[in-house]
Chain A
């Protein structure tokens, strides 16, 4: 077992009063070589949890063990076991990606550091063209990839990636997932923190969904999806106000973000739903629509906000 999070609670207090319970009695474990997706909306408590794993924050209750040792008792141990890509952009100043990644590698591996690995990583991510350009002249995506490389150049036993694909173009995102997968071949475990559920579904071995400080579900992607097993999802882009539209009675759960409406239906209702949505297109309510098998995003929406929206 690489990581065990055992009934961890973290509260933030302001002027003596509990302001927010950022992590509420969380428990989960990560095995060697596993990619673990930690999903949740902004403010769900993901980064707070990561900071506790790294020993930067102390839990109010519970314990966190890395390779069997308590992080609370030896916080500096956590930093040698884990390597991190932070969520925020790291300002590199005049450092070039090559310098930054090489120095980080030397810091972690000392004399055993193999400089060839820098070139291999840059090649795998197709970023050789940026290798020797000063950081402040690089685009956000190139800088994000540089901090990714800084985290994985000499990976610890546990690599924590906080929104690694932000700002990165679609082609290089694929390369990035490839590199992450290769890391686990050597037994390195990965925590992938993200709110990009669709992308994470394809990449992770196991997933946990964090909502308002609580873990609302965890398991393999197919286990998590079992609650929506026989369902289809309809995604609709609205042209007019939601309230004026008559919704299908067989809708199972729904969620709306701006002009984007998502709802779940049973597989037997596919043709009636298509009839319904065509009608809405003719009436000018709907711009376009997509019907697809349910994803983790639907579970996520159902578990977090879907229920209120439906009833």
Chain B
């Protein structure tokens, strides 16, 4: 256990120092994107009512987590595959879950400034009616881990080109065709069915239920959905890492 912890510490330091500039840059971009979603979408809807505003303000953090796990992370893995850094890490004398754990921590950390800053900005600009519950910490963790896990799963499994394609579709799909910034009922029936299976809707529901606890609730199905995707993602990534 002690070696596992010290390995984790050294891999974390190695990855943090190696990618330091990129990570700071990404954290800043996240802040801009999150504020952009809240403010930008109010231009799209000329006279948003308080319910629309609340949807936008509670949707932005979910989108940040989706972008990080399903868009930025797969691109980073694609680069690591192309310059054979991933292969090099596989020769290290450590348990491979340590690599996954250390990297996941880094990805988690870069999402926090964006989520915090955008929520504060949204609060003072629009007073959307946040009602933050204690569940916000486990909810954030669960959503982030699912998103990161699924991102790892498909970017390890697929070729860099295929995973780039998926992440491009995800950006557009999550922003425009997913019930993150608006209620599920607005979508056509087939998309609703699809979102019952995909993790995006459950992420959004769980996030809303903890940021505006008096307005929204998440059901147990949402938690189960995320749990399954999270296990599938990390499980798949571990399988690929240990495959020979």
Contacts and interface: CB of A to CB of B under 8 A. Distances in A.
Chain B associates with chain A: yes
Interface of A: 54-58, 75-76, 79-80, 82-84, 86, 88-95, 99-100, 103-104, 106-108, 110, 135, 156
Instruction: Kindly name the residue among A57, A90, A93, A107 whose own CB sees the greatest number of chain B CB atoms within 10 A.
Output: A107
A76 B97 CA distance: 12
Contact of A94 (B3, B20, B93): B20
Interface in B75-109: 83-85, 87-88, 90-95
A107 B91 contact: no
Given A92-B18, A99-B17, 4 more contacts: A79-B92, A91-B85, A103-B10, A107-B10
Given A55-B244, A56-B90, A84-B91, A110 B3 contact: yes
Given A90-B85, A91-B83, A110-B3, A58 B244 contact: yes
A80 B93 contact: yes
Contacts of B94: 79, 107
A220 B93 CA distance: 31
Nearest to B7: A107
A91 to B, nearest CB: 5
A58 B244 CA distance: 6
B158 interface: no
Interface of B: 3, 6-7, 10-11, 13-14, 17-22, 83-85, 87-88, 90-95, 244
Contacts of B88: 84, 86, 88, 90
A88 B81 CA distance: 12
B26 to A, nearest CB: 14
Nearest to A80: B93
14 contacts: A56-B87, A57-B244, A75-B244, A88-B83, A89-B83, A91-B83, A91-B85, A93-B22, A94-B18, A95-B17, A100-B14, A103-B17, A107-B7, A107-B11
Contacts of B87: 56, 86, 88
Contacts of B21: 93-94
Nearest to B90: A56
Nearest to A100: B14
A75 B93 CA distance: 10
A76 B85 contact: no
Given A94-B18, A106-B10, A54 B93 contact: no
A107 B93 contact: yes
A73 to B, nearest CB: 12
A83 B91 CA distance: 8
A94 B85 contact: no
Contacts of B7: 107
Given A93-B19, A94-B19, A110-B6, A56 B14 contact: no
Contact of A56 (B3, B19, B20, B91): B91
A119 to B, nearest CB: 19
The residue among B11, B14, B95 with the most chain A CB atoms within 10 A of its own CB is: B14
Given A57-B244, A95-B18, A103 B13 contact: yes
Contact of B84 (A82, A86, A99, A100): A86
A301 B149 CA distance: 51
7 shortest interchain CB distances as A-B pairs? A93-B18, A80-B93, A88-B84, A107-B10, A84-B91, A79-B93, A103-B14
Contacts of A135: 18
A104 B15 CA distance: 12
